[in-house]
Chain A
Amino acid sequence: MLRFMVARLLTAIPTLILVSITVFTMIRLVPGDPVTLMLGDNADQQVYDAMRHHLGLDQSIPTQMFLWFQALLHGDLGHSITTGEPVLQLVLHRFFVSAQLVLIAIAISAFIAVPLGMIAAWRQSSGFDLGVVITATMLMSIPTFWGGLMLLLFFGLKLGWLPVIGYVSIAQNFWSGLIYLIMPVASLVLHETGILVRMARASTLDVLRLDYITHARAKGLSDAAILTRHVARNAFGPTWTLLGLILGNLLGGVAVIETVFTIPGLGRLIVESIFGRDYPVLQGCLLFVAVTYVVVNLIIDLCYPLFDPRIKAQ
């Protein structure tokens, strides 16, 4: 168990280093000169050179990379070209907004999807199963941004029940923050629940076919006992892995839902930094999301022994 955890932790280190090198390289590949962008086209040559020197752009690429890593290890991601704010502070602030949205949505989806998928598999080919599968397939076919727009149109504009645009932080005002979160969270939940239900159902079906389930049935255990004690733990594995992937993908893809509901989250920051050619911010966001993705998957893997004793035994 300890060996598994240490081994898994060690595999994350080279990944993290590679991710940082990739982000560094990608940003250097973006066409356009950041100094010209900051100073404008008709800047004085002396000012231009001074700026290049200040940003370290007159150094060789390996030296630049070394300096970048050094700064990185000190938690210094540079400063935004447009606002001058420290990138790390900006990214963390926006990340908190996106994270609460994504985490609430994932938690709700999992709570709905896992039991539904399991019951559907247990009652395979029944009316309930068919209904669940059809609904799930339809839900996963609705893109979050269109689902969001339709919710907005119906509950916001036509019925006027919920606020249409704007954002209030939960930390500032809990209840009104919650009201602003309802529609964005609902749009994510609808789409992700569709995906998760199908996964939970598929992995449950796989487990139900195994001999020990037949044995448990032959022993005379009740349906509920078999489902909760024998099926749930083993069928949850693939869904759990998928949860990690969805979480990471949402952090990269939450930009669309933040655009629909004008939420100042990390996704919007990425899009704004691409439009504004704010390279330090883009670099910081890319690195931050990629590292979070690696760490989330690491945590997901480390949690495996909690419900799969086979890993503990190895």
Chain B
Amino acid sequence: MSLRRTNQILGSSLVAFFLVVALTGLLWTPENPLAIHLQDKLMPPGPGHWLGTDEYGRDVLSRLMAAAGTSVSISTLTVLCSVFFGLILGALSGYCRGWVDRTIMLFTDTLLAFPSMLLALALLSIMGTNISGVIIALGLAYLPTVTRVVRGSVMSLREQDYIEASRLMGHPAGYTLLVHIIPNCLAPVIVIATSMFGSVLLTESALSFLGLGVPPPAPTWGNMLAGARPYMEQAVWLGIFPGLCISMTLLGINLFGDYVRDRFDPRMRGL
């Protein structure tokens, strides 16, 4: 019991810390993350540059903060998009059944036949490598999962007596869906969305690492790691800090996700 409490506190603190860093990074960084000072290149961590400088003399701390802003915004927008459209599609599919259900399921099943990273790569080659391309590609890649989860809960909910009552009272289907059904299937959606946030962040970093995500010079943790590769031996800090940021954020989200699941999904308790 105490471990779960510790995990919950550690997870929430890590998530909160990186959210604050990300928000700060969007508004203010100690130095301009894009400003090049070649005379200061590859300076080790120390006063002035607390986390050192990179191969162009840019301040690593400022870049990490700006990158946190970018990564967290991309992940949040992606998750919001997937959840929004997933709720609509899943609710329609589970509530209307018939050909609507079959069409939507055909769509999700086809997308699910591709590994998500591969789907994201394929969609990125269509959208082009820029921030909105990354959001649309990742959002589409994760859409089927949300849709299926929502559909499952809607299908079991629509058989409940109070839904039948709402229908008999003459409420239009849209009203019943919005007021009675969707709020009741939010719990599994929150659980899915939390873990999705982690996978999206990881996939975005991986895409940026490959050079297919957010294009440089705009910093993300993934493209900072990619840029650090040639300098790994002489400038260890360039390879360590961005990776540490990704890992710590993911650890926070994973621990926080366990807590959210315990909270909203009693069947999973204690796992």
A residues at B contact (CB < 8 Å):
15, 18-19, 22-23, 26, 29-31, 124-125, 130, 133, 137-138, 140-143, 145-146, 149-150, 152-153, 157, 201-202, 205-206, 248-249, 251-253, 255-256, 259-260, 270-271, 274-275, 282, 286, 289-290, 293-294
Tell me which residues across on chain B come within 8 A of A248, comparing CB atoms: 115
Tell me which residues across on chain A come within 8 A of B119, comparing CB atoms: 252
Query: Does B117 interact with chain A (Cβ within 8 Å)?
Result: yes
Tell me which residues across on chain A come within 8 A of B20, comparing CB atoms: none
New A-B pairs, 15, CB < 8 Å, besides A153-B236, A252-B114, A290-B113: A23-B122, A30-B126, A130-B3, A137-B254, A141-B250, A142-B243, A146-B242, A149-B229, A150-B240, A249-B116, A256-B206, A274-B124, A282-B122, A289-B115, A290-B115
CA distance A180 to B228 in the complex (A): 22
CA distance A19 to B110 in the complex (A): 6
Chain B min CB distance to A274 (Å):
5
B206 touches A293 (CB 8 A): no
Given the known inter-chain contacts A138-B251, A149-B225, please indicate yes or no for A252 contacting B232, CB distance below 8 A: no
CA distance A201 to B211 in the complex (A): 36
CA distance A137 to B110 in the complex (A): 31
A–B pairs, 25, beta carbons within 8 Å:
A19-B113, A22-B113, A26-B123, A30-B125, A133-B3, A141-B251, A141-B254, A143-B243, A145-B206, A146-B243, A149-B243, A150-B240, A157-B233, A202-B268, A205-B270, A249-B115, A249-B116, A249-B117, A251-B118, A252-B116, A256-B206, A275-B211, A282-B122, A289-B118, A293-B113
Query: Does B202 interact with chain A (Cβ within 8 Å)?
Result: yes
**Which residue in chain B gives the minimum CB-CB distance to A28?**
B126
A149 touches B239 (CB 8 A): yes
B212 touches A271 (CB 8 A): yes
**Which residue in chain B gives the minimum CB-CB distance to A198?**
B271
A137 touches B255 (CB 8 A): yes
**Which residue in chain A gives the minimum CB-CB distance to B205?**
A143
- Which residues of chain B from 245 to 260 have a CB within 8 Å of any chain A CB? 246-248, 250-251, 254-255, 258
Query: Does B109 interact with chain A (Cβ within 8 Å)?
Result: yes
B212 touches A143 (CB 8 A): no
Of the candidates B115, B229, B232, B236, the one having the most CB atoms from chain A within 10 angstroms of its own CB is B115
Tell me which residues across on chain B come within 8 A of A31, comparing CB atoms: 126, 128
Query: Does B264 interact with chain A (Cβ within 8 Å)?
Result: no
CA distance A155 to B199 in the complex (A): 28
**Which residue in chain B gives the minimum CB-CB distance to A257?**
B206
B210 touches A137 (CB 8 A): no
B210 touches A157 (CB 8 A): no
CA distance A150 to B123 in the complex (A): 30
- Which residues of chain B from 67 to 123 have a CB within 8 Å of any chain A CB? 106, 109-110, 113-119, 121-123
